Structure 1
Amino acid sequence: MMQNNANEMTIQNNLLKVTRFVDGDGIILKDIITKKEIEVRFLGIDAPEMSYCNKIKKDEKELHLPAALLIKLGYLSLNFLKDQISLGEICTLVQEKNNLVDKYGRQLGYLILSDGRVLNEIMIKEGYAKPYNEVFCENLPIYQALNLQAKNSLKGLYSLVNIF
């Protein structure tokens, strides 16, 4: 489980409200003080895409799975995410100082639920996302171990496919 220690490596924002879901690894949050909305991509995880795009074409070739199946898996991942957190719920975003935004300008971070659980970790542990190693993440080794356990236990998407 991720340690939520306040140190010089992290930035924490506790006053965020869920306003929209993007996909299985992304969400829109609103700062309840400034009213500014931010798009957040969950650091260290990757869920299947939900539409036909360049990434899904790449995944189709690499994984030898049809795009239609990958899109179905993407929707299953999103539905699982929606079961974990509700619109209007207050949460905390913890970011690694050296990894604040991705190449698309989205904020990168760990989403801490009101009960203290880390949403990124839940998505991996339950088999609805996999570790993402194309952007540095302090928790990648933990996520890799959790992913292996989910895969071996046929949890989540792994109950349907052995790779995604």
Structure 2
Amino acid sequence: MYFRKNKYPFHLWLVWLLLCLGCQQSRDYSQDQKQEEATTGENQYKVIAIKDGDTIELLKDGKPLRIRLQGVDCPEKNQDFGTRARQFTSDLVFGKSVGLVVHDVDRYGRTVGEIILPDGRNLNQELVKNGFAWHYTAYSKDQELARLEAEARAEKRGLWADPSPRAPWDFRKKRTTPAATAEATSSVSKKTGTSLPKTATSPSATISSKTGKVYICESKGAKTYHLDKACHLLEQCKSSTGTLPLAQAKSQSRKPCKVCAQ
């Protein structure tokens, strides 16, 4: 009676276990299939622009597709090694057909993924391996990227030649704080011997304020306006950009950009 009573529940447990194993194998197969397609010729796209070390544009279906590399973070343009990281990426992929393994879409509408080089290497990994990017641990737990960063640190490759390089996420945070603006203003004043307004603006921001027009991202859902055409947040627009009279931008319930319009 004991075995007869528990026979049916055991079968249910066995079916559940087999279903779980099947789902896991399906996920693994799907990821492996994407990797294989990116390496063997399917999902190949031409690289048409290099925005910075970790952001590029591909040509897909006749339209530009902006790609943010998964799991890595390169120095910003104004940081040490920012230009060299961009050049490293350009040397490897610009004008070439590469594979794309899609992971996600970020809040700016960019496709987040891995780029597979024509020779089968992984661009994301190559950047970290050669000391041109950090493993972006806030968004990635990839063990291979962690291993490659530790290796680059130990060998003092690229940016790791500096004993205390500043991570790009810390650089971005400081750049957008009032203290950072005050520090930049003070630095320029000391070098030129002249005083500057409390809020330093770029030439494009000055021109925009004089004409009464602002810059906007025309992407659906964009709700901010910019005084600076070169604002790094505006550059992340996934659609086209344009200008509007300030009054019209406000009538559309657009808010001033926290970086360039405050």
Whether these two folds match at TM > 0.5 is yes
From 70, 84, 105, give the equivalent of 2:109.
105
Q: Could you say which residue in structure 2 is the equivalent of 1:149?
A: 151
Q: Could you say which residue in structure 2 is the equivalent of 1:73?
A: 81
How many angstroms apart in 1 are the aligned matches of 2:31 and 2:119? 23
> What secondary structure does 1:7 align onto?
helix
Corresponding letter in the other structure for 1:85: V
> What secondary structure does 1:92 align onto?
strand
How many angstroms apart in 1 are the aligned matches of 2:67 and 2:57? 6
Q: Could you say which residue in structure 2 is the equivalent of 1:132?
A: 136
Q: Alpha-carbon deviation of 1:39?
A: 0.4
Offset from partner CA, 1:119-150 (integer Å, 9 cap, x none): 0000000010011122245xx21111110110
Q: Could you say which residue in structure 1 is the equivalent of 2:102?
A: 95
Runs (5+) with no aligned partner, structure 1: 1-5, 52-70
8 Å Cα contact 2:72/2:135 also seen in 1: yes
**Greater Cα radius of gyration, structure 1 or 2:** 2
Corresponding letter in the other structure for 1:39: R
Q: Alpha-carbon deviation of 1:112?
A: 0.2
How many angstroms apart in 1 are the aligned matches of 2:131 and 2:97? 24
Q: Alpha-carbon deviation of 1:160?
A: 3.1
Q: Alpha-carbon deviation of 1:82?
A: 1.7
- Normalized per residue, the structure richer in helix is 2
The sequence identity of aligned pairs, in percent, is: 31
Query: What is the alpha-carbon root mean square deviation over aligned residues?
Result: 2.1
8 Å Cα contact 2:80/2:159 also seen in 1: no
From 56, 60, 75, give the equivalent of 1:48.
75
C-alpha change, 1:16 and 1:49, in structure 2 (3 Å) is same
8 Å Cα contact 1:151/1:162 also seen in 2: no
Matched ranges for 1:23-62 at <5 A: 23-31=52-60, 34-51=61-78
> What secondary structure does 1:115 align onto?
coil
Offset from partner CA, 1:85-139 (integer Å, 9 cap, x none): 23x200010123xxx11111110000001110000000000010011122245xx
Number of equivalent positions: 133
Runs (5+) with no aligned partner, structure 2: 1-27, 167-262
> What secondary structure does 2:30 align onto?
coil
C-alpha change, 1:133 and 1:39, in structure 2 (3 Å) is same
